[in-house]
């Protein structure tokens, strides 16, 4: 998606939220499916890059072809680069499912864009990690609005020829400094092109400026929010690109001289498969992360095929293969065993033990839990757009 269209889509989402155009009443009136009927022959999914693979990039990674053959449901995928883009697409409609992260899922629930799922129609539901089944980003008032998919942390990706040892701090992408190769980091680092990235700045300040009193990087007082924006304005002077397309970031590390950036394990894995000198780490400040849920549109055009995909999405083979491909952690822990692609210690390598350490993405709200009053998400959006624009 082009930058102007993405900004317009984001602005539309914020406007609809602020004006209260979305209403959960519609979703509440339409109860979950009570039985699965004949498939409609298709299912359309909005997904993060690398989440729905049919073997086109690597034949070993294909969890679509077999599903289509066994169900007759043809899978179409719309790749989205940010949670705001996913939210805008779900407002637009015409899709069945979305692999939503925590900074989108609650907006979709409260806005009535997704429907409650009937877990009795998903035979493998009880195999899902209990920590995810009723997580606050997919469950409201005891109702489940989706099926957990994968989770993981955002990582600091770096060039191992520049950094002979892993960088210890996110400071290498936030503040201008000389890198181990003797050159400045100016123009050689990147940052994520999404308002939720304000939380990364807040997490950095939580560690380095404890006097600010940041308790949760998504629950920011006005003072904490302004401090985070000031750090991002400082970062703006050294950023080569604000990335939102995983494949463009991969190219930047290969051809554009970028040596450090926030990233996903997906890019790390692909670059390493190309023998590019790349590694990743979680610095001392910790990391933000994502726990994604496959959610069903309130007006899904292919509900029977959608439910078949929801069940398919949590089979151990798919879960393990996806974890190996993306560098994430399965929502079904049995997938960590006996998967040739993932290997014996794949889940540990991907961060299985880090669940309690990750600040998982969530939508900032004014009535927050850790502060008296916080800056709501629509201000994160408008202010981050201004930061990127150099204002």
Write out pLDDT tens, residues 125-183.
999 999 999 999 999 999 999 999 999 999 999 999 999 999 999 999 999 999 999 99
pLDDT-based confidence at 357, cuts 50/70/90? Answer: confident
Global pTM?
0.86
CATH topology match: 3-151+290-354 vs 153-288+364-388: yes
Higher per-residue pLDDT: 27 or 113: 113
Domain boundaries, the chain: 3-151+290-354, 153-288+364-388
Instruction: Decide if 14 contacts 382 (C-beta within 8 A).
Output: yes
Q: Is 200's pLDDT higher than 80?
A: yes
**174 by DSSP, 3-state: which?**
helix
pLDDT (0 to 100) of residue 9: 52
Spatial separation of the C-alpha atoms in residues 129 and 317, rounded to whole Å: 15
**CATH code at 153-288+364-388:** 3.40.190.10
Tokens of 140: 């409201």
Give the DSSP H/E element, type plus range, for residue 98.
strand 97-100
Token pair 């498939």 in the structure block, residue? 39
Spatial separation of the C-alpha atoms in residues 154 and 287, rounded to whole Å: 6
Tokens of 73: 């449901």
Pairing of strands 287-296, 147-153: antiparallel
Instruction: Decide if 285 contacts 96 (C-beta within 8 A).
Output: no
pLDDT (0 to 100) of residue 23: 43
Spatial separation of the C-alpha atoms in residues 292 and 71, rounded to whole Å: 24
Tokens of 301: 């055009």
Sign of CA dihedral 165, 168, 172, 176: negative
Spatial separation of the C-alpha atoms in residues 58 and 269, rounded to whole Å: 12
**Which tens digit of pLDDT belongs to each residue from 256-274?**
999 999 999 999 999 999 9
Pairing of strands 239-243, 189-192: parallel
Return the CATH fold of 3-151+290-354: D-Maltodextrin-Binding Protein; domain 2 (3.40.190)
Q: Is 293's pLDDT higher than 80?
A: yes
Cβ neighbours for 351, distance < 8 A, ≥ 6 positions apart: 152, 153, 282, 329, 358
Higher per-residue pLDDT: 12 or 268: 268
Q: Where are the alpha helices (DSSP H) in 54-187?
A: 65-71, 83-92, 102-110, 130-133, 171-174
Please report, for residues 15, 129, 147, 200, 306, the alpha-carbon distance to residue 217 in angstroms, rounded to integers and kept in the order given.
24, 25, 26, 7, 34
Please report, for residues 130, 132, 151, 323, 337, the alpha-carbon distance to residue 333 in angstroms, rounded to integers and kept in the order given.
10, 11, 12, 11, 8
DSSP structural state of residue 341? T
pLDDT-based confidence at 30, cuts 50/70/90? Answer: low
Average pLDDT of the residues of the chain: 92
Q: Is 18's pLDDT higher than 90?
A: no
**Which tens digit of pLDDT belongs to each residue from 78-87?**
999 999 999 9
pLDDT (0 to 100) of residue 288: 97
pLDDT (0 to 100) of residue 21: 41
Cβ neighbours for 202, distance < 8 A, ≥ 6 positions apart: 214, 217, 218, 220, 224, 225, 228
Spatial separation of the C-alpha atoms in residues 342 and 286, rounded to whole Å: 25
Q: Is 184's pLDDT higher than 60?
A: yes
Pairing of strands 329-330, 147-153: antiparallel
pLDDT (0 to 100) of residue 31: 79
């Amino acid at each position: 998606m082009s930058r102007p269209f993405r900004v317009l889509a984001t602005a539309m989402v914020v406007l609809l939220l602020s004006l209260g155009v979305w209403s959960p009443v519609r979703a509440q009136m339409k109860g979950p499916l009570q039985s699965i009927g004949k498939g409609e022959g298709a299912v359309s999914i909005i997904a993060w890059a690398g989440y729905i693979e049919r073997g086109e990039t690597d034949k070993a990674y294909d969890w679509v072809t077999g599903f289509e053959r066994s169900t007759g449901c043809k899978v179409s995928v719309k790749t989205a680069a940010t949670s705001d883009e996913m939210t805008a697409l779900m407002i637009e409609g015409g899709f069945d499912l979305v692999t939503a992260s925590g900074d989108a899922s609650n907006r979709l629930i409260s806005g009535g864009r997704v429907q409650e799922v009937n877990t009795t129609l998903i035979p493998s539901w009880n195999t899902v990690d209990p920590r995810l089944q009723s997580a606050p980003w997919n469950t409201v008032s005891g109702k489940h609005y989706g099926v957990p998919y994968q989770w993981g942390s955002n990582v600091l990706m770096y060039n191992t020829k520049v950094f002979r040892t892993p960088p210890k701090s996110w400071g290498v992408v936030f503040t201008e400094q000389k890198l181990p190769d003797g050159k400045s980091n100016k123009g050689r680092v990147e940052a994520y092109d999404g308002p939720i990235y304000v939380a990364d700045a807040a997490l950095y300040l939580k560690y380095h400026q404890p006097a600010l009193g940041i308790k949760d990087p998504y629950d920011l007082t006005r003072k904490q929010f302004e401090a985070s924006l000031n750090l991002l304005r400082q970062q703006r002077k050294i950023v080569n690109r604000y990335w939102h397309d995983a494949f463009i970031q991969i190219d930047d590390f290969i051809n554009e001289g970028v040596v450090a950036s926030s990233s996903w394990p997906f890019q790390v894995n692909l670059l390493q498969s190309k023998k590019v000198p790349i590694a990743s780490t979680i610095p001392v400040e910790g990391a933000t992360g994502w726990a994604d849920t496959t959610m069903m549109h309130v007006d899904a055009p292919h509900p029977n095929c959608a439910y078949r995909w929801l069940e398919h999405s949590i089979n151990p083979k798919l879960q393990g293969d996806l974890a190996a491909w993306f560098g994430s952690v399965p929502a079904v822990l049995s997938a960590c065993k006996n998967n040739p692609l993932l290997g014996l210690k794949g889940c540990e390598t991907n961060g299985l033990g880090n669940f309690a350490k990750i600040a998982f993405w969530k939508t900032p709200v004014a009535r927050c839990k850790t502060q008296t009053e916080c800056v709501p998400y629509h201000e994160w959006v408008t202010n981050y757009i201004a930061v990127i624009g150099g204002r």
